[in-house]
Structure 1
């Protein structure tokens, strides 16, 4: 069945970012970097999960709260990507860029909601 695009920029971008994170974590595990892969996969996939959950928010406050959690997870993901790049291996360039883009989108949506 697979993922159906939602025509919602933040929902779609966060979903595909989660997929990129899962694939990158597979590479980390091949290099026996299990602990850092575990940290990254938790925070990186949590962004999309919280964004999707926000779409079912019962109020504006609930919506913003879920996006706030997604923003915190995106910031943590950015941290782990920096740690990996500094200590372990190169990361795909677009992962940092995509993460920063998600952070900017989340900040903008939260501020304007």
Structure 2
């Protein structure tokens, strides 16, 4: 990948992960205000915003091992976001149609970042 293509990829992923975080936060604000709803609310906000924050950190990391570390955290947090979205539906706190786009986006982000990590690990 050329330097300009890499820069464009990074900027697109920064935007994509930030939009994902915003969507999850907005969804979380609509969860019921009860013990379980509050718990999912906090967990989903934490992990979805961590996807974006750690991806951004990977873009300015000083070494390949640090980039891999930050990407790994983003992957784990994207997977956790999937879990909390699925759990909200399982517990009937949300309808599946409301979470499908975010669930798919979390999965796609994780898949992209896994491939990026694999590429870096070959270096």
In structure 1, how many angstroms separate the alpha carbons of the residues matched to 2:52 and 2:108?
A: 13
Cα offset for 1:92? 2.9
Ranges in structure 1 where 5+ consecutive residues have no aligned partner: 1-5
Equivalent residue, structure 2, for 1:102? 109
- Indicate the structure with greater helix content: 2
From the CA coordinates, give the structure whose radius of gyration is larger.
Answer: 2
Matched, 1:89 2:94: yes
Equivalent residue, structure 1, for 2:118? 111
Equivalent residue, structure 1, for 2:3? none
Ranges in structure 2 where 5+ consecutive residues have no aligned partner: 1-6
Matched, 1:9 2:15: no
TM-score normalised over the length of structure 1? 0.87
TM-score normalised over the length of structure 2? 0.81
Aligned CA-pair RMSD: 1.3
Deviation per CA, 1:17-74: give whole Å up to 9, x if none: 011111111111xx21211100110011100000001111010110111000111111
In structure 2, how many angstroms separate the alpha carbons of the residues matched to 1:92 and 1:39?
A: 15
Equivalent residue, structure 1, for 2:70? 66
